[in-house]
């Protein structure tokens, strides 16, 4: 059997799809050392630099003294603490929903949502570019999974029509698509979910903290939070820590407590991370300058890359993909950028479709104008090198 596994890994190498872990030393958020070279990182989802914000670190340090490192058990056994309760209250207010619940990871939250709310006899209708955790949740649920082409809401409506008689219809999208950085049309999806009596689930992993006048995410504009049934998000990206959350009406939260297996059967999110996340939400509310800086940086990168000759879709988030197509080419671009002191791993199949390999640039408020200048110069070099 091991022989087979080795052969399979070898095939991955041949197809330029093999992945390996790269150890970064002296990691400082936007900088690290790799193979003896100082590098600038443009690949983290820590969009606001909150993983190292002094207030967030201070809150975590204090919580560590009180709670220690772990939660001890699943929440229903012994794991629920004031830290969980206070964070959930904070998230519910932040997302303008009645209640909230946290999971040990965003991935688990998505598995929990779809396996709890969907069953055999139900249908899940999902955008083609939805995250692996949503796809896996749908598969595990036993419901029929139907996928519509990316942001093609006409086809989405066709699927809703065709499945009118399904017991429960669950409509699923990301708000900001994680590998493309573009945004779903939530207004249109709300219209469709109302028309066909579906439950609308949105994954705001990459919108929370980044989008909206107050950073509440893609559901911040008037009428959107009310129209979306389930807002999922993660504490691992702009919030700077780890964990997932769901904000919804209290009855839906109660349902998750009783039916979401990744909540019931997994050790709880450690309270120290709850306290760090709660402080991170406060920072987002009280320091809008961070979000302003992030968007200034996004614009500067966008303008610089276009001037360097790269074709980009207008930036709707802090994710700017440079699509190179061929997997080998993307790996080559990664190496060329490394030689210029920039670390952006090539994203390849199955994370993105075959032949759509890319450099997924992510921008942070923690990047300085000098960092961005260095990034743009490296991309100019990339262009000259034929990419």
Q: Which residues sit at the interface with ligand PLP, rule CB under 6 A?
A: 105-107, 110, 131, 133, 174, 178, 203, 205, 234, 236, 244
Nearer to ligand PLP, 219 or 236 (CB): 236
Q: Is residue 84 annotated as a catalytic residue, yes or no?
A: no
For residue 259, the SS3 value is: helix
Q: For the chain, what percentages of helix, strand and coil (3-state, to nearest 5) are there? A: 45, 15, 40
Nearest CB to ligand PLP, comparing residues 180 and 371: 180
The residue number with the shortest CB distance to ligand PLP is: 106
Q: Please say which residue, 95 or 131, places its beta carbon nearer to ligand PLP.
A: 131
Distance CA 102, CA 104 (A): 7
Sheet (strand 357-362) strand order: 319-325, 357-362, 346-347
CB atoms within 10 A of CB 178: 23
For residue 374, indicate whether it is catalytic: no
- The nearest distance, CB 44 to ligand PLP, in angstroms, is 12
Are 113 and 84 a contacting pair, CB within 8 Å? no
Q: Which residues pair with 176 in a beta bridge?
A: 183
Q: Which of 169, 193, 237, 356 is catalytic?
A: 237
Q: How far is the CB of 131 from ligand PLP (least distance, A)?
A: 4
Of residues 206, 293, 356, 367, which has the active-site annotation? 206
Is 206 noted as a catalytic residue in this protein?
yes
By C-beta, is 147 or 300 nearer to ligand PLP?
Answer: 147
Q: Which of 133, 178, 317, 364 does the annotation list as catalytic?
A: 178
Alpha carbon distance 34, 338 (integer Å): 9
In the complex, least distance from residue 313 CB atom to ligand PLP, rounded to whole angstroms: 18
Contact 172, 114 (CB under 8 A): yes
Closest separation between CB of residue 136 and ligand PLP, Å?
11
Minimum Å gap between C-beta 165 and ligand PLP is 30
- The sign of the CA dihedral 238, 18, 182, 110 is negative
DSSP state of 182: -
The residue (of 47 and 107) whose beta carbon lies closer to ligand PLP is 107
Active-site residue set? 178, 206, 237
């Amino acid at each position: 059997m091991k022989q087979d596994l080795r052969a399979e890994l070898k095939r991955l190498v041949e197809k330029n799809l093999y992945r390996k872990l790269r150890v970064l030393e002296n990691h400082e958020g936007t900088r690290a050392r790799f193979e003896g070279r100082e590098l600038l990182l443009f690949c983290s989802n820590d969009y606001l630099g909150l993983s190292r914000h002094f207030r967030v670190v201070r809150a975590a340090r204090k919580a560590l003294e009180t709670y220690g490192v772990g939660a001890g058990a699943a929440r229903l056994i012994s794991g629920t603490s004031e830290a969980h309760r206070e964070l959930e209250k904070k998230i519910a207010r932040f997302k303008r929903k009645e209640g909230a619940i946290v999971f040990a990871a965003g991935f688990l939250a998505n598995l929990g949502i779809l396996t709890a709310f969907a069953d055999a006899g139900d249908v899940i209708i999902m955008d083609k570019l939805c995250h692996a955790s949503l796809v896996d949740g749908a598969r595990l649920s036993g419901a029929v999974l139907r996928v519509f082409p990316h942001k093609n809401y006409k086809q989405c409506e066709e699927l809703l029509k065709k499945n009118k008689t399904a017991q429960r219809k669950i409509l699923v999208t990301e708000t900001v698509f994680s590998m493309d950085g573009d945004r779903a049309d939530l207004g249109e999806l709300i219209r469709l979910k109302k028309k066909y009596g579906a439950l609308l689930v949105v994954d705001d992993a990459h919108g929370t903290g980044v989008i909206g006048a107050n950073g509440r995410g893609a559901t911040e504009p008037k009428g959107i939070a009310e129209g979306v049934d389930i807002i999922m998000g993660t504490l691992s990206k702009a919030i700077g820590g780890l964990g997932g959350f769901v904000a919804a009406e209290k009855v839906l939260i109660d349902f998750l407590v009783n039916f979401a297996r990744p909540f019931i059967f997994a050790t709880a999110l450690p309270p120290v991370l709850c306290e760090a996340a709660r402080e991170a939400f406060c920072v987002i509310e009280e320091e809008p300058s961070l979000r302003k800086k992030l968007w200034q940086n996004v614009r500067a990168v966008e303008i610089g890359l276009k001037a360097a000759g790269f074709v980009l879709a207008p930036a709707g988030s802090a994710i700017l993909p440079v699509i190179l197509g061929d997997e080998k080419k993307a790996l080559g671009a990664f190496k060329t950028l490394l030689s210029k002191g920039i670390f952006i791993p090539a994203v390849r199949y199955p994370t993105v479709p075959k032949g759509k390999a890319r450099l997924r640039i992510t921008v942070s408020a923690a990047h300085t104008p000098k960092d961005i200048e260095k990034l743009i110069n490296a991309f100019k070099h990339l262009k000259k090198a034929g990419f």
